[in-house]
Structure 1
Amino acid sequence: MRTSGREADLTALWASRNNLLGARGGFAGIHRAGMVAALRHYGHDGLAIVVSERGHYSLRKAADVLGIGRDNLVPVAVDADGRMRIDLLRDTLRDLQRRNIRPMAIVGIAGTTETGAVDPLDAIADVAQEAGCHFHVDAA
C-alpha cells in the first residue's frame, strides 16, 4: 500500500520501467546506466505508457519523473460508457510496435474520477500479457 494514488502510480511505473530495462546481457540496468544507454542496449527508439483517455493526471507526472516524457503517455479512446476500447488498445500497440516504441506499461482504470467508469480489466490484462507488457490498475 502507498499513501497516495500519485505515489502508487509512480512506484508501479518505476518498477515496470526498471524491470523492462533491467540488468541483462552485460547491461548494468537503467538504474545505473540511464535511459539513453538502456534504449540503445534493448534496441528501442522510445518507451510509452498506454492508458485510457480518462487516465488520472498523476500518470503524466509519473511519465515526466521517470524520463518517459509526458508526450509518451499514449491515450486510448473510451466507449460510450467511459471504458477503454480494447480494439483501439490493440491498434495503439500495433502502431507503437511499427515505430519501434516499446510499451512499458498499460494502465487500466478501476473507477475514473469523473464518472466512476471501470475499464474492462480482464481483457486489458490479456492484451498486456500478449504484448509482454506490465499491467497496472489505477483505482480512484
Structure 2
Amino acid sequence: MIMEQQPELARASMSSLKIIEEVPVTLVHLKEDLQRIKKRDEELNFRANKTEEYLNTFSTMKPSDAEELFSKLKELGLPRVRDDHLVKLIDLLPLNVEELKTVMSAYSVTISTDNAKKIVDLVVEYAKRS
C-alpha cells in the first residue's frame, strides 16, 4: 500500500494517512525494502525485526528471479488471474498442481489443468534456482 499524509492533519497517526494505491508486493521485494530501511535507519523496531526474521527464513529467491517469474507468469495470459494472485504464487512457490490448487483456493479463481501445469513448470524452474 502506498499512503500519503493529508496536509490538513499535522499529527502522525493512522487517521492522518490516506491510501492512494494498493500494489501487491512479493516477500522478496519486501525483504529488499526492509534491508534498505535498515541501512538508512541503522536499526529496525521490534515489529520490523520480527518481519525481517520471517523474511530471512521464507524468502530465498533473488529479486531479479522474482521479477522474471512474475513476467513469465503474466505472459501466460491466464484468465481472471490478477497480479496479487501471481505475487502469492511467487511467495509460496507451489511445486505441483495440488499445491497450486490449494494456494488458489483462497481466491475465487479456477485454473484449468493445462494452465496449472504451465504455472507449476515455471515455478519449479525458478524454485530450483533459490
TM range (shorter): under 0.3
Normalised by the length of structure 1, the TM-score is 0.25
Structure with the larger strand share: 1
